[in-house]
Amino acid sequence: MLRTLLSRSVLQKTTSSLAARSLAARSVSCTTVSYETVLVEKHENVALITLNRPKALNSINLQLIADLNAAVMAVNEDNDVGAIVLTGSKKAFAAGADIKMMEPLSFADTYKTGLFNDLEQVTKGKKPIIAAVNGFALGGGCELAMMCDIIYAGDKAKFGQPEITLGVLPGAGGTQRLTRSVGKSKAMEMCLTGNFIDANEAKQIGLAAQVYPNEELVVKSIETAKKIASFSKIAVAMNKEAVNVAYETSLQHGLDYEKRLFYASFATKDQKEGMGAFVEKRKPEFKDE
């Protein structure tokens, strides 16, 4: 049954139906849009996406991946939205990949279907995503948080890559993104022992940008997202792109890439508005042009 679920025809059917539902998300103002495993709310110019598999502690399965991708795609096409907050529940951001789904699979099953490849689609949008992590962010949940652009942690959050305890290794970027975020030694310790780290340690080692009390986490994340969304969407996208290049490539290539984007920003009307407003000592009114 699982192999049938993973077949291409079922995945295409699921994606097609979710894409149709995503049209509704694009027209929402302040209401909640429900997918099967994801909720979407708009808070003025910010979209709040909430993982919604509470009985499974938001463990990541194919349905959640499809829903999340549809929601992120819809939000990226919504011109009113400038930034995204992705969160889970107070108990778990996402407690990992769905073990019951994976346990029966063979090498051929995972290889032919590209298991979890589609989760990477979260990284493809131009609008920045803040991961607001409460509770457990383990395995695939930690990997999903690291796919976002900023991680804010609730003070009771726990991060970890415990795949070693299941006889496998991270399969959605855990060994790669974690190493780039916290360095080889700490990443090796987390991946080889399966030990969890708390929110304060996550901030100390550079995995999380800020730590907030659990009850304030989402509000603080939305506040930051609103600030980001108040700026030129073009400039925001360029900044995100340049930082990601720094994360993924050599220093010299990154410097050259940054310079090209910097020069390109002078072709935008928002650059003229931003600098003109500074000279005239007024607040800029960006038009995203």
Point out the residues that are catalytic.
Answer: 97, 140, 143, 163
Relative orientation angle of helices 184-193 and 174-182, to the nearest 10 degrees: 140
Cβ-Cβ contacts under 8 Å for 66 (sequence gap 6 or more): 11, 14, 15, 18, 118
DSSP string, the chain: -HHHHTSHHHHHHHHHHHHHHHHHHHT-SSSEEE-SSEEEEEETTEEEEEE--GGGTT-B-HHHHHHHHHHHHHHHT-TT--EEEEE--SSEEE--B-HHHHTT--HHHHHHHTTTGGGGGGGS-SS-EEEEE-BEEETHHHHHHHHSSEEEEETT-EEE-GGGGGTS---SSHHHHHHHHH-HHHHHHHHHH---EEHHHHHHTTS-SEEE-GGGHHHHHHHHHHHHHTS-HHHHHHHHHHHHHHHHS-HHHHHHHHHHHHHHHTTSHHHHHHHHHHHHTS-------
Cα 289 to Cα 278: distance, rounded to the nearest angstrom: 18
